[in-house]
């Protein structure tokens, strides 16, 4: 889920005065297409004084006739929040394919002798698998984590034991160079970077690059609260200052801080003795470093002696923009030097098809996984596994899908960036395009179903839209969106996009307003 506390200066270009909003309502009344009852119903919803202070964009098109049935500011640019994931996941379906699988390996350039001694580094190589975790796949209505969160690393360590590994003379290396070392996107807020929704991006992603912190009151008032961390509690230095207070002194007031670049976690505040406790997912600083240290511990627990140190191998952004000195010196011609032998793969793990993760991304709005998909596009279909490489491929795909270049500006793949911009018309164009593709049904099935699952599980209950809407939610501070497919009560199929920026209504009232608009579309009176 995308959450921000900062405003976005880019939206100062929209002067949200009431006359401008009134003008947009006149535009509704003058539309040649669309039933007049629908115009009236939506106009009534948006006439609420609080709603009218925000900037709204709505576009709905019949998939059966191809005709617009409602338009409001459909050609204006809005911050999309997580509706940006609609574009990223569609591009992966189209260009990578739903059957793509990720492979994670443990490799060495050395040899393992008969005594179990490896005379070289042992390297864990990540290639972008988002689900090196305990997540249950396929996704079914909600996220489940029944297996150990580090199960894949445990399996890899067990495979090494089967090979007879006992000693490592070299280092334990975590290699995430498959993607460029760009942990965060442009336009991300700094206070999100320590939280689950702002977790750093890495080709070696273990447990969604987070740790789980559990906090419980102590047995007696005045004592420090019980605090536990999983997995790999040793990774962080913890300063726990949370005190237990007597029963009835709630609510709890607990704050958490981690400075950028630091592995120091500080907790402070109070938790009443009758509090049930809580859990929080906190982002780690360097996923590859976390993996290297954790994998070393898993090997040592299995009796392996390691003489080297623990380190990482990243691909820095600058290295993707330079030329090979050797190639330039040789004029780019062929070389008579013998080929360097490939590494010896001692253990490996293959993921489920990528379609399973695209479902996770859109159902629960998983930011980190969407960012991995953007880099995958660049790695497999572009110039590099970087943000720029992925965005270049994404732009090409969207133009092919019939979306005009001036209808979108993306800086990331998840929508966490406040600098992303897109029009409602662009979203609907994308949805119509996807509906016509061989993978269109799979794409539609990745979207939350109203009143059933994902981020729409609690919305539209006991309304005509329940079960009839599949749509992607989006939310940042002062930004909300909902875009997808709907079937009206008369059986007409729609593609729609609803976006609002710069409003100041409470979140629940904003979501209720969006839902009432969707219900008006579905009722089709």
Determine the Cα–Cα distance for residues 423 and 71; give it in Å rounded to an integer: 12
Task: Mark out the alpha helices in 219-366 (DSSP H runs).
Answer: 287-301, 325-329, 354-364
What is the CATH classification number for the domain harbouring 84? 3.40.710.10
- Tell me: do 374 and 515 sit in the same domain: yes
Name the domain boundary from 323, 350, 377: 350
* Domain boundaries, position 474: 9-97+354-520
Per-residue pLDDT, averaged over 80-105, amounts to 98
What confidence score (pLDDT) does residue 189 get? 86
More confident residue, 2 or 189: 189
- Tell me: do 262 and 383 sit in the same domain: no
What confidence score (pLDDT) does residue 338 get? 54
pLDDT interval class at 523 (50, 70, 90): very high
- Tell me: do 412 and 497 sit in the same domain: yes
What confidence score (pLDDT) does residue 35 get? 57
Q: Which of 12-21, 197-206, 504-513 has the lowest mean pLDDT?
A: 12-21
pLDDT tens-place string over residues 117-128: 999 999 999 999
In a 3-state reduction of DSSP, which class is residue 83? helix
What confidence score (pLDDT) does residue 96 get? 98
- Tell me: do 339 and 383 sit in the same domain: no
% of the chain exceeding 70 in pLDDT: 89
Q: Which of 195-199, 333-337, 476-480, 521-525 has the lowest mean pLDDT?
A: 333-337
Name the domain boundary from 261, 283, 305: 283
- Tell me: do 15 and 35 sit in the same domain: yes
Max avg pLDDT among 129-138, 247-256, 334-343, 478-487: 478-487
Q: Is the pLDDT of residue 32 over 60?
A: no
pLDDT interval class at 3 (50, 70, 90): very low
How buried is residue 134: exposed, middle or buried, by Cβ count under 10 Å (0-12/13-18/19+)?
A: middle
What confidence score (pLDDT) does residue 412 get? 97
Report yes or no on 109 lying in a domain. Answer: yes
Report yes or no on 253 lying in a domain. Answer: yes
- Tell me: do 330 and 441 sit in the same domain: no
Q: Is the pLDDT of residue 316 over 90?
A: no
| Average per-residue pLDDT for the chain | 89
What's the half-sphere exposure (Cβ side, CA atoms, 13 Å) at 261? 0
- Tell me: do 479 and 381 sit in the same domain: yes
How many domains is the chain partitioned into structurally? 3
- Tell me: do 252 and 116 sit in the same domain: no
Q: Is the pLDDT of residue 140 over 90?
A: no
- Tell me: do 211 and 238 sit in the same domain: yes
Strands 172-180 and 310-315: parallel
pLDDT interval class at 271 (50, 70, 90): very high
- Tell me: do 64 and 210 sit in the same domain: no
Give the residues across from 268 on adjacent strands.
241, 255
Report yes or no on 317 lying in a domain. Answer: yes
Report yes or no on 417 lying in a domain. Answer: yes
Q: Which of 65-69, 129-133, 146-150, 164-168 has the lowest mean pLDDT?
A: 146-150
Helix pair 367-381, 354-364: axis angle to 10 deg: 140
% of the chain exceeding 90 in pLDDT: 80
Per-residue pLDDT, averaged over 248-263, amounts to 87
Determine the Cα–Cα distance for residues 396 and 84; give it in Å rounded to an integer: 16
- Tell me: do 293 and 278 sit in the same domain: no
Per-residue pLDDT, averaged over 281-291, amounts to 94
Residue with tokens 């409003």: 503
What confidence score (pLDDT) does residue 5 get? 37
Report yes or no on 192 lying in a domain. Answer: no
Report yes or no on 416 lying in a domain. Answer: yes
pLDDT tens-place string over residues 173-203: 999 999 999 999 999 988 888 889 999 999 9
Determine the Cα–Cα distance for residues 269 and 275; give it in Å rounded to an integer: 13
Q: Are 415 and 2 in contact (CB under 8 A)?
A: yes
pLDDT tens-place string over residues 350-400: 999 999 999 999 999 999 999 999 999 999 999 999 999 999 999 999 999
What confidence score (pLDDT) does residue 20 get? 41
Query: CA-CA-CA-CA torsion for 239, 244, 245, 246, nearest 10 degrees?
Result: 180
Report yes or no on 358 lying in a domain. Answer: yes
- Which of these, 208, 213, 497, 499, lies nearest to 366 by C-alpha position? 208
What confidence score (pLDDT) does residue 270 get? 95
Report yes or no on 197 lying in a domain. Answer: no
Name the domain boundary from 230, 258, 283: 283
Q: How many CB atoms are located within 10 Å of the residue 40 CB? A: 13
What is the CATH classification number for the domain harbouring 297? 3.50.80.20
Determine the Cα–Cα distance for residues 354 and 150; give it in Å rounded to an integer: 20
Per-residue pLDDT, averaged over 74-88, amounts to 98
- Tell me: do 362 and 498 sit in the same domain: yes
């Amino acid at each position: 889920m995308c959450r921000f506390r900062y405003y976005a200066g880019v939206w100062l270009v929209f002067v949200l005065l009431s006359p401008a909003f009134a003008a947009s309502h006149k535009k509704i009344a003058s539309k040649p297409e669309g039933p007049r009852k629908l115009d009236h119903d939506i106009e009534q919803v948006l006439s609420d004084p609080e709603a009218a202070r925000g900037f709204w964009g709505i576009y709905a098109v019949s998939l059966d006739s191809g005709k617009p049935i409602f338009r409001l500011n459909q050609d204006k640019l809005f911050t999309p929040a997580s509706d940006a994931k609609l574009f990223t996941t569609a591009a992966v379906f189209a260009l990578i394919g739903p059957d793509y699988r990720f492979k994670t390996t443990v490799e060495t350039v050395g040899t393992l002798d008969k005594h179990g001694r490896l005379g070289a580094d042992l390297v864990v190589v990540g290639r972008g698998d988002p689900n090196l975790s305990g997540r249950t796949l396929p996704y079914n209505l909600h996220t489940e984590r029944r297996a150990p969160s580090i199960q894949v690393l445990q399996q890899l360590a067990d495979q090494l034991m089967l090979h007879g590994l006992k000693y490592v003379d070299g280092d334990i290396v975590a290699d995430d160079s498959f993607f460029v070392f760009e942990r965060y996107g442009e336009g991300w807020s700094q206070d999100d970077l320590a939280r689950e929704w702002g977790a750093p991006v890495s080709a070696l992603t273990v447990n969604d690059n987070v740790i789980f912190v559990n906090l419980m009151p102590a047995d007696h008032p005045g004592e420090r609260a019980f605090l536990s961390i999983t997995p790999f509690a040793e990774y962080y230095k913890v300063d726990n200052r949370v005190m237990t207070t007597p029963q009835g002194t709630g609510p709890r007031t607990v704050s958490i801080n981690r400075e950028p670049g630091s592995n120091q976690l500080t907790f402070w505040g109070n938790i009443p003795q009758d509090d049930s406790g809580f859990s929080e997912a906190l982002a780690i600083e360097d996923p590859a470093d976390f993996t290297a240290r954790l994998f070393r511990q898993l090997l040592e627990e299995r009796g392996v002696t390691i003489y080297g140190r623990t380190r990482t191998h990243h691909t820095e952004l600058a290295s993707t923009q330079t030329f090979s000195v050797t190639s330039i010196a040789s004029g780019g011609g062929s070389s008579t030097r013998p080929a360097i032998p490939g590494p010896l793969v001692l253990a490996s793990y293959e993921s489920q098809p990528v379609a399973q993760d695209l479902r996770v991304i859109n159902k629960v709005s998983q930011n980190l996984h969407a960012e991995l998909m953007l880099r995958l596009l660049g790695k497999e279909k572009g110039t590099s596994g970087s943000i720029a490489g992925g965005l270049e491929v994404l732009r090409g795909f969207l133009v092919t899908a019939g979306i005009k270049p001036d209808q979108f500006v993306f800086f990331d793949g998840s929508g966490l960036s406040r600098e992303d911009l897109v029009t409602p018309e662009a979203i609907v164009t994308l949805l119509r395009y996807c509906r016509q593709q061989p993978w269109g049904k799979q794409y539609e099935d990745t979207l939350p179903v109203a009143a059933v699952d994902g981020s729409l599980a609690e919305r539209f209950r006991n309304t005509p839209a329940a079960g009839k809407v599949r749509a992607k939610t989006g939310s940042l501070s002062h930004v909300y969106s909902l875009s997808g497919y709907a079937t009206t009560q008369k059986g007409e199929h729609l593609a729609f996009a609803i976006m609002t920026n710069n409003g100041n209504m409470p979140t629940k009232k904003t979501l209720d307003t969006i839902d009432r608009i969707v219900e008006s579309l579905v009722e089709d009176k």
